[in-house]
Amino acid sequence: MKLIVLGAPGSGKGTQAKFITQLYQIPQVSTGDLLRDAVKRENALGVKAKEYMNTGNLVPDAIVLELLKIRLMKDDCSKGFILDGYPRNITQADELAKITEIDQVINISVDHGLLVKRITGRRTCKECGAIYHIEYQPPSQEGICDKCSGELFQREDDTEETVKNRLNTYDKQTKPLIEYYSSQNLLQTLISDGTIEEMRQKVKLLLENRFH
Ligand code: AP5
């Protein structure tokens, strides 16, 4: 099962990708996480990527493609994967088509007005990457991960200013992928106007109908 989760920043791609991972035992491959890992390690690639990420722009295609190829070659991707955050533009989609086929694209559609609040309230576990929201999905103990007791942090690019640019970048460069994958009959759109749990049920139903 080779899936893409498409959607604007803060739409819930990561949250739903983690849910699908549990349902189908396939890994979440997040280019955002791969890039943040490179930034943390402060290697040459990470230093370069940080400039783009902290201003809300896309990291150059060649850098991201290289990271993605290495990740997809790992054993755990042999039975499938969920791509979260890739592709981000038509060039990346064309490059992806050269390395693998895709079975289904899930497009998460959210009113832009809701996204800033979702993003600025997000907290992520430093240890296991679990995603929380201070209002919509709070941990039992403030600042501490329920799953592994790791420390929760706020991403550097989750400021209101950067979010505006991330949304612009999405509208200009990523949104055209909806038409790109629709025209290949690969895309289904789910409207995310309810809770995380309601969205999980929609995702589950879509995948059950598609793969059983
Ligand atoms: P990336 O890490 O991919 O970030 P993004 O696309 O901006 O998406 P987010 O991670 O912000 O949001 P999400 O949709 O995963 O939402 P989440 O589930 O966390 O990319 C970061 C940067 O890296 C980019 O700006 C770019 O610079 C670079 N980059 C990455 N990939 C690249 C590529 N392919 N090419 C070039 N550059 C690339 O949910 C958000 C919050 O909302 C959470 O707190 C969650 O709890 C909450 N929430 C989720 N669903 C709901 C709901 N239904 N109701 C209420 N709250 C909800």
The fraction of the chain above a pLDDT of 90, given in percent, is: 96
Closest CA relative to residue 201, chosen from 25, 30, 19, 11: 19
| Residue 84 CA neighbour count, 13 Å, CB half | 24
Is the per-residue pLDDT at 113 higher than 90?
Answer: no
Q: Which residues are catalytic?
A: 13, 88, 122, 155, 166
Within 6 A (CB) of ligand 1 lie 7, 9-15, 31-32, 35, 52-53, 56-59, 64, 85-86, 88, 92, 118-119, 121-122, 131-133, 136-137, 157, 166, 192, 195-196, 199
Report the alpha-carbon distance of residue 190 to residue 104 in Å, rounded: 13
Average pLDDT over residues 86-110: 98
Mean pLDDT over each residue of the chain, to the nearest integer: 96
Q: Which of 190, 186, 191, 194 is nearest to 210 (CA)?
A: 186
Among 80-84, 160-164, 196-200, 204-208, the range scoring the smallest mean pLDDT is: 160-164
Residue 212 — very low, low, confident or very high, per pLDDT cuts 50/70/90?
A: confident
Confidence check: pLDDT of 63 > 90: yes
Residue-range domains of the chain with CATH: 2-110+189-206 (3.40.50.300)
Beta-strand runs (E) in 49-103: 81-84
CA dihedral 113, 121, 53, 49 (to 10 degrees): -150
* pLDDT tier, 10 (very low <50, low <70, confident <90, very high otherwise): very high
Inter-residue contact 190 to 108 (CB < 8 Å): yes
User: 125 pairs with which residues across the strands?
Assistant: 152
Q: How many CB atoms lie within 10 A of CB 79?
A: 12
Mean pLDDT of 177-183: 98
Q: How far is the CA of 166 from the centre of ligand 1 (A)?
A: 10
Rg of the chain, C-alpha, whole Å: 16
**Which whole number is the average pLDDT over 106-130?**
94
Return contacts of 70-74, CB within 8 angstroms, 24+ apart: 71/29, 71/34, 72/29, 72/99, 72/100
Alpha-carbon gap, residue 152 to 123, rounded angstroms: 6
